[in-house]
Amino acid sequence: MSKLLLITFDGGAEGHQLAGFAQKLGLPFDVLCISGEAPTEIGAARVLNAGLAEVPPADALAEGLKSLVAGYSHIAGLSNMRSKDVLARLAGLIEAGMVTDVIGLQSPTSFTRPMVAGSVIATVEVLAEPVILTVRPAGFPADPVSGSSPVESVTLAASGQAQRISVTARGGARPDLSQARVVVSGGRPLGDAETFERVIGGFADALGGAAGATRAAVDSGIAANELQVGQTGKIVAPELYIAAGISGSTQHMAGIKDSKLIVAINKDPDAPIFEFADLGLVGDLFEVIPEIRAKLSV
């Protein structure tokens, strides 16, 4: 019988984001929680809890997952860099078909995904089984679910050649970009890392959101690599996305197109981002952002 396995790396938040996809697919499903708090209230038949203190490197984790995913026709995770790294390796190990960045589905074997930086939406039919999927959750709102799923402890024997030497997190207490409800992003006009943190980081903190950046800002050393939003960075789908000093390149827009509300701040009235924004403010970000903060008292 066809059955879905949702894989969460950091626990409950990821599980709730994937719940809408599971409901839309319509197959019975289990959840495998690798680390963090297991999501028990999303309608799963079982929650398999590996209970690891931290997520292992991708090569080791993919090897450890081989035995746990046996018997499932569909295996899915959120569309983020970690899933694409681990699940792509897993697909190769178990000779599975794979579709990334799923934004819609026609049937249990037919999925839609963006291509060419989001300018083309392709329908992909998968004839292989199992199929491994990474999912953009914005297109799959979840219906409320009552009751908790039974939790079973499982052993995940992860061993590989790569070793994690250290972990550095620059985001502090800010939410992760891929899960934040509010994202404030800045571009190259910020000039330097100190100004970026003061203006963009400060605004994001005031709104309880995450800070993001364009590839140009990252390449210029203005923002850290992990803050890059776009086709080659992180895909985001917040309720509010504020783009300050961002022109709106195709690469960047591909990473934010699922945002519920896009607000653009740019002093160039002809900036391409205004074609996509729900609200546009023509003005200097160094003047507009302080004015917004003053009006919001944040």
pLDDT band at 43 (very low <50, low <70, confident <90, very high): very high
What is the C-alpha to C-alpha distance for residues 29 and 116, in angstroms, rounded to an integer?
32
pLDDT band at 168 (very low <50, low <70, confident <90, very high): low
Q: What average pLDDT does the chain have?
A: 90
Strand partners, 228: 213
Using one digit for the tens of pLDDT, what is the confidence trace for 207-234? 999 999 999 999 999 999 889 998 778 8
Tell me what the mean pLDDT of segment 255-266 comes to.
Answer: 92
pLDDT band at 77 (very low <50, low <70, confident <90, very high): very high
pLDDT at 198: 96
The answer on pLDDT for 163 being more than 80 is no
Structure-token pair, residue 129: 């089984």
Residues present in the chain in total: 298
Angle (deg, nearest 10), helices 58-68 and 81-94: 50
Tell me what the mean pLDDT of segment 92-117 comes to.
Answer: 91
pLDDT at 143: 87
Query: Which residue did the predictor score with more confidence, 11 or 218?
Result: 218
The answer on pLDDT for 66 being more than 60 is yes
Among residues 18, 34, 22, the alpha carbon closest in space to that of 69 is found at 34
pLDDT at 28: 95
pLDDT band at 53 (very low <50, low <70, confident <90, very high): confident
Tell me what the mean pLDDT of segment 251-263 comes to.
Answer: 90
Structure-token pair, residue 173: 């207490």
Query: Which residue did the predictor score with more confidence, 41 or 232?
Result: 41
pLDDT at 1: 62
List C-alpha distances in Å: 273 to 47, 126, 165, 183, 251.
42, 35, 40, 16, 12
Domains along the chain with CATH numbers: 4-153 (3.40.50.620), 182-296 (3.40.50.1220)
Tell me what the mean pLDDT of segment 281-294 comes to.
Answer: 96
What is the C-alpha to C-alpha distance for residues 29 and 56, in angstroms, rounded to an integer?
24
pLDDT at 212: 96
pLDDT band at 24 (very low <50, low <70, confident <90, very high): very high
* pTM score, whole prediction: 0.78
What is the C-alpha to C-alpha distance for residues 103 and 260, in angstroms, rounded to an integer?
14
Query: What single-letter DSSP state applies at residue 227?
Result: G
- The CA-CA-CA angle for residues 27, 4, 105, to 5°, reads 65
The answer on pLDDT for 119 being more than 90 is no
pLDDT at 80: 82
